[in-house]
Amino acid sequence: MNHLVNITKKELRELLTPGTIASILIVVIMFSALGTAMSGESEKESAPKEIGIVYTGDFSETLITDSATSTSYTLQTVLEAAYKSVYGVDNPADHIHVMTAAYGDSKAISDECAANGYSVALVIPAELKTNLSGNIRTTVNMYYTYSHGGIFGSVSSLTGTVFMNNINTIISKVLIDNSTGNEDKTAFSMSPLSAGTDYTTINGQICEGVTPYQIFSSLMGQSMIIPIIVMIIIVMVGSVVISSMGSEKENKTLETLLTMPIKRTTVVSGKLLAAAIMGLVYGVCYLAGMMMYSNGLTSGLSGTSVDLSKYGLVMDTLDWVILMVVLFLAIFCALGICMILGAFTKNYKMAQTMTLPISGLAIIPMFIFMFTSWENLPAIGQAVVFAIPFSHPMMAMDNLMFGDMMLVAEGIAYLAILDIVMILITVKIYNSDILITGLEQSKFFGRLSRMFKRKEEENEYR
C-alpha cells in the first residue's frame, strides 16, 4: 500500500506542475467568461422584440365583436393581446410600432425595419375587417432582416411565426364563438389569417420567399462545420508538435539536432512549415468529408433548406483560396505557440498536459460562433475574439459569403504578424540554452531563485 501511495505522489508531482495548473486555471476562466457571454446573448435574444406593423386601415376601428360577451376587438387590441401572450409584458404597445412605409413597398419596409431595429414586420391588408365578416382568409406577409452567424441569427423567424399564430388564435376564438351552428363559418374560423410571402433582407438585398431560419438551416452545413474542423485540427496538430518535442527531449535527439551546423531559424521554420502543411492537408480532407456528410444528411429534408446560390450566399474559387490561406496562417500560429510551450516540457508525459491552453483557445471561439456572430458581440467580446488567432478561420466563411472582406483582410494581417512574432520568439528560445538546461537554469529564474534564497536567509537571521 505504501508503494502505491509513493508512486501516486511521484506521478502527481510530475503531472501537476505550475505550468499545468496554470493551464487548467486559464481554461476554467475562459469557459466561465464564455458562459457569461452566452448567458447574456441568450437573455438578449429572449427579451421582448420590436415588431413593426404596416396597415393602411384604422387601428381603432372595431374588427370583430364577441357576440357572447359583447366585447369589441380592434386590430390594436388584438396585436397587444398576441404580443402579451408571447412575452408576458404589461406594456405591449411600447413594442408594437405602426410603420410609415407604404403597403407593398418592399424597399421602404425593409429600410424602416433596419433603421429602427425591428425583428419582424407584419404587412396586413386594409381589407382585414371586410374579409373577417365575409369569411375570407386574409394573407399577411412578413419581412425579416437576416443577421448572419449562429443559431441566434434565426430567432426572428420564430418571433414572427409565434406572433402570427397568436393573432390567429385570438381572432379564431371570437369567430368560433360567433359561428355556432354554421359549419362553413366554423371551418373558416379555425384559421382566419394565412401566412403569405416571407421577405428577408440579406446584405441589403430583399429576398422573396425565404425566412432567416431557412437560411440558417442551409448555412449550418457550411458555416458551422468550419469551427469544428478548425478546433479538431488545432488540437490534433498542436498535440503532435508538443508531444514530439517532449519525445525529442526525452530521447536526447533534440540535443543532436541543435549541435548540427544548421541555423536555428531554419530548424524552427522547417518544423513549423512541415507541421502546418500536414495540418492544412488534414483540414482540407476533413472539410471535404464533413461537407459530403452534411449534404447527404440534409438532402432528403424538405422545407428547411433553400438554394443559397439564388441569394448570392456561395463560395467561389477565390473565396476558398482565401479561406485556406486564413486556415494555414491560423495553424501556423497554433504550432508556434505549441513550440514555445513544448520548449519548456521535460518529457513526453509533461508535454501531454501542455495542450490544454491550445485546446481552450480553439474550443471557445467554436462555441461562440455556433450561437452568435462577430457583429452581435459587444465591443469587448469582439476584441477578445479577434485576439484569439483561431477565431479568424472559424468566421472567415461567413464573412466571405456576406461580403465582409475588411474583417477577413484584417484577420489575415493580424495572423501574419502573429506568425512572425511566434517564429522570432521560438528562434530566440532555440538560440538559448533553455532547451537543454531547462527553464530553471535560465538567467531570469536564476535571479529569482537567488532572490528568494536571500530572503529566506534574512528571515532565518532575524
**CA dist., res. 269 & res. 342, Å (int):** 15
The better pLDDT of the pair 365, 457 is held by 365
pLDDT tens per residue across span 334-352: 878 877 777 666 665 666 6
**CA dist., res. 81 & res. 192, Å (int):** 17
> If pLDDT is split at 50, 70 and 90, which confidence band does 400 have?
confident
pLDDT tens per residue across span 104-124: 888 899 888 888 888 888 998
Among 34-43, 71-80, 144-153, top mean pLDDT goes to 71-80
> If pLDDT is split at 50, 70 and 90, which confidence band does 448 have?
very low
- Say whether pLDDT at 301 is over 60: no
- Say whether pLDDT at 310 is over 80: no
- Say whether pLDDT at 318 is over 60: yes
**CA dist., res. 74 & res. 59, Å (int):** 6
pLDDT tens per residue across span 200-230: 887 778 888 887 777 777 776 566 677 777 7
pLDDT average, residue stretch 451-456: 50
Per DSSP bridges, beta strands 62-66 and 120-124 are unpaired
Say which residue the cell 438554394 belongs to.
307
Q: What percent of the chain has pLDDT over 70?
A: 66
- Say whether pLDDT at 415 is over 90: yes
CA nearest to 66, candidates 58, 77, 55: 77
- pLDDT score, position 413: 94
- pLDDT score, position 153: 59
The better pLDDT of the pair 281, 348 is held by 281
pLDDT tens per residue across span 249-262: 666 666 666 667 77
**CA dist., res. 106 & res. 98, Å (int):** 16
The better pLDDT of the pair 79, 219 is held by 79
Residue 102, judged by CB atoms within 10 A of its CB (0-12, 13-18, 19+), counts as exposed
**CA dist., res. 440 & res. 19, Å (int):** 13
Residue 392, judged by CB atoms within 10 A of its CB (0-12, 13-18, 19+), counts as buried
Domains belonging to the chain, first-starting first, are: 44-210 (3.40.1710.10), 217-431 (no CATH)
Q: What percent of the chain has pLDDT over 90?
A: 3
- Say whether pLDDT at 393 is over 90: no
> If pLDDT is split at 50, 70 and 90, which confidence band does 300 have?
very low
- pLDDT score, position 336: 80
Q: What are phi and psi of 315, to 5 degrees?
A: -100, 125
- pLDDT score, position 6: 67
